[in-house]
Amino acid sequence: MPCRPRGRWGRGEEGMDSYRCTLCGYVYFPAIGDTDHGVKPGTAFDDLPETWKCPRCGAPKSRFKKV
């Protein structure tokens, strides 16, 4: 069992954590995705392509931290 609350989106799936850009504060929500850049809702952060960048400031995935 996860030791912290899940199901914020009513799903409770593993690997669906939100990640925040450490540069600009943008938060990637897996349940929402990044439809402006071809990322479908339900895409886990780990499943984003390596080429994906912060839609707000262009930071690479490595600059994101789990929320």
Binding site for Zn ion (CB under 5 A): 21, 23-24, 26, 54, 56-57, 59
Closest contact distance (angstroms) between CB of 17 and Zn ion is 17
Q: Which two tokens stand for residue 57?
A: 């400031």
Report the residue number, 8 or 56, with the smaller CB distance to Zn ion: 56
Closest contact distance (angstroms) between CB of 59 and Zn ion is 4
CA separation for the pair 22, 7 (Å, rounded)? 24
CA separation for the pair 54, 34 (Å, rounded)? 10
Report the residue number, 57 or 67, with the smaller CB distance to Zn ion: 57
